[in-house]
Amino acid sequence: MFSNTLLTFAFLLTVLPVAFFEETCKRTFKVDYDKRTFLKDSKPFRYVSGSLHYTRVPPELWKDRLTKMKYAGLDAIQTYVPWNLHEPSPGLYHFEGNADLELFLQTAADVGLLVLLRPGPYICAEWDFGGFPSWLIQQNASTVLRTSDPRFMKPAVRWLSFLYEKLKKYTYCNGGPIIMVQIENEYGSYGVCDKVYMKNLVKIAKSVLGESIVLYTTDGNVAQDLKCGTYPGVFATVDFGTGQNVSQAFQPLDQMQKGPRVNSEFYVGWLDYWGSPHAKVSTAAIIKSLKNLLDYGASVNMYMFEGGTSFAYWNGADPPFKVCPTSYDYDAPLSEAGDMTSKFEAIRKLLGKYKQLSPMNPVPKNSTKLNIGPVKMTKIASITDTKHIVLAKSVYPISQEDLSQSMGFTLYRTNLSERFYQAILNVSGIRDRGYISVNGLYQGTVDRNENTFLNISGGKDQVLDILVENQGRINFGSQITQNRKGLISNVTLNNRILKNWEISRVDPLLVNAVNKSQCAKGPTVFEGVFKSPRELGDMFAYFPNWTKGQLFVNGYNLGRYWPKKGPQISLYIPSAILLSPGYHNTIRILELEEVDCIQKGHNIYLKNVPDIDGPTSL
């Protein structure tokens, strides 16, 4: 595929230490291909597992969620490792807070769960850019992701070497919980069949984690996907949902591999998009298919067992550009807030027929929920009024990636050179949604999915502001390479290119109060407080009469709200981020469009029940 393949090889040979020494394992986990079973400490074994992404649950709640998964009767959990969270800029690693992967693995081990690790480097996961750091496409828009293109392979190998060195003490062989490590992720459906890339990924995993580590691949259960997604010597698994005839569903896999059968993503729920109805998978269908899988002797991972939340700006999008909302509840057996739903109870009951469920004392329970009621929000400033962090001054716009401003909001500002009335502002390069004002007067929005031009009016030397919202990068398919954000082409006003931009990062948390006037249109920061009650608990924020924006509580970025779009109406506020009883919690909201405040003041509401199944509008 690439002429530089040889170069890549030469690079790998010089960089990688090769594990020629004999490994000594404390414990063993193997695949017995002939007997179609796993062997755990030499005994036949099959697993029932569930997916939980540690980055989507506050670390304080990992133990709660994992304990509930153990209680459900699971043997193992499966998690992705998002490269972009852990390596925010080249060679700079982040493993704290919700990125503390070692703590997560240790907690899983403490609870008695095995781990199926999916380090990618590509993870899909409805996570920004499928887990890729946006610096991969900085300057080099032509880099071919998920191939042996050295501009991709070199940083990927560096990252995986670092990660595997850190995690090797957690392999089953070394006494830890990790029984299997996935190579790539549904690579067969990517459409690029670079076996050199696969070979490199296998090599780096084995050279650091040891020859004994069980590596696996996961692909759709069709021959075409299995052709490109699998690799000799790497254990192949498939994924499929409810309603399939199990023996038929495994047939394409059986044709290429004798061995235990594994469904690595048995869909017990499904993902949502803004503007599309909340997805659901029926419990009856799950129980029927899960029973068939278990009777067939298969191992299974339920995707997702607990979906959690794509906090802050971490949600992804599917092509052409369908954006996933903040909630990743996924209609999973454990809800976004970790509640044990009727789906959870039904699965636990079924698993109890196949194995001895571990008794638990105390029995896990749903979290406490708080019903605080209305919180009055006060306008503190228009976001464009206040101090920004200037990233660049440039004749023409620069993309967010080239500014090393991976996520969030970027302000593009220029001066108008003359007076304009109802002039056509053409922002065809908007990625993804822009909020436009002239001298602080809100003009409207442009959106890559809706309209990319807008009539504006303004005078000579007045300031034109385009606040650009990156709504999350595409995480799936070949369009993953076209993922630049901000303004990616010139902006014209009545067909004339606008020049001389000042480009800044804006942070709603850095805004100081400048204007106490209550009503506002356009991007505006509001603040409110509420007192922590005697017993802390989870809650859900509602935004009636608000339009679209971002919620922060005590400095934690809890994600995007957009109740007018649906289906997600409320945002999850986990108890873990609240201050101690009696203290005042601070809420900050960046409302991007408008809040109808004439009627009843602009309150938000903190309630004890979620609503992620509201009406939608496209």
Ligand X SMILES: *[C@@H]1O[C@H](CO)[C@@H](O)[C@H](O)[C@H]1NC(C)=O
457 binds ligand X per the rule CB under 6 A: no
**Of the listed 126, 186, 469, 527, which one is catalytic?**
186
Question: Measured between alpha carbons, how far is 313 from 558 in angstroms, rounded to an integer?
Answer: 9
What is residue 59's DSSP assignment? G
Q: Which of 449, 370, 409 is closest to 550 using CA atoms?
A: 409
Q: Which of 244, 545, 554, 586 binds ligand X (CB under 6 A)?
A: 545
Q: Is 265 one of the annotated active-site residues of the chain?
A: yes
What is residue 401's three-state secondary structure? helix
**Of the listed 184, 265, 469, 527, which one is catalytic?**
265
Classify residue 597 by burial, with Cβ atoms within 10 Å: 0-12, 13-18, 19+. Answer: middle
Contact (Cβ atoms closer than 8 angstroms) between residue 173 and residue 210: yes
Site string for ligand X, 186-225 (x = CB under 6 A): ----------------------------------------
Q: Mark the segment that binds ligand X (CB under 6 A) among 65-73, 113-121, 253-261, 598-606.
A: 598-606
What is residue 189's three-state secondary structure? helix
Q: Between the CA of residue 516 and those of 378, 382, 528, 545, what are the distances in Å?
A: 7, 10, 13, 20
Q: Which of 248, 356, 361, 580 binds ligand X (CB under 6 A)?
A: 248
- In angstroms, give the least distance from the CB of 457 to ligand X: 9
Question: Measured between alpha carbons, how far is 605 from 370 in angstroms, rounded to an integer?
Answer: 11
517 binds ligand X per the rule CB under 6 A: yes
Residue with smaller CB distance to ligand X, 247 or 358: 247
Residues in Cβ contact with 149 at an 8 Å cutoff, skipping those fewer than 6 apart: 2, 4, 143
Residues 471-500 binding ligand X (CB under 6 A) are 489-490, 497, 500
414 binds ligand X per the rule CB under 6 A: yes
Q: Mark the segment that binds ligand X (CB under 6 A) among 112-120, 206-214, 402-410, 593-601.
A: 593-601
368 binds ligand X per the rule CB under 6 A: no
Question: Measured between alpha carbons, how far is 66 from 178 in angstroms, rounded to an integer?
Answer: 15
Question: Measured between alpha carbons, how far is 131 from 133 in angstroms, rounded to an integer?
Answer: 7
Residue with smaller CB distance to ligand X, 151 or 168: 151
Q: Which of 3, 361, 422, 580 binds ligand X (CB under 6 A)?
A: 422
Residues 101-140 binding ligand X (CB under 6 A) are 138-140
Provide Rg for the chain, Cα atoms.
Answer: 25
Contact (Cβ atoms closer than 8 angstroms) between residue 188 and residue 39: no
Give the number of other Cβ atoms within 10 Å of residue 615's Cβ.
Answer: 11
Size of the site for ligand X (CB under 6 A): 38
Amino acid (one-letter) located at 218: T
Q: Is 336 one of the annotated active-site residues of the chain?
A: no
The CA-based dihedral angle spanning residues 392, 397, 403, 405, taken in that order and rounded to the nearest 10 degrees: 110
Residue with smaller CB distance to ligand X, 32 or 502: 502
Give the number of other Cβ atoms within 10 Å of residue 211's Cβ.
Answer: 12
Residues 374-403 binding ligand X (CB under 6 A) are 396-397
- In angstroms, give the least distance from the CB of 523 to ligand X: 13
Q: Which of 161, 244, 394, 415 binds ligand X (CB under 6 A)?
A: 415
Residues that bind ligand X (CB under 6 A): 138-140, 151, 245, 247-248, 335, 339-342, 366, 396-397, 413-415, 422, 424, 426, 428, 453, 455, 489-490, 497, 500, 502, 515, 517, 520, 544-545, 596, 599-600, 603
Residues known to be catalytic: 186, 265
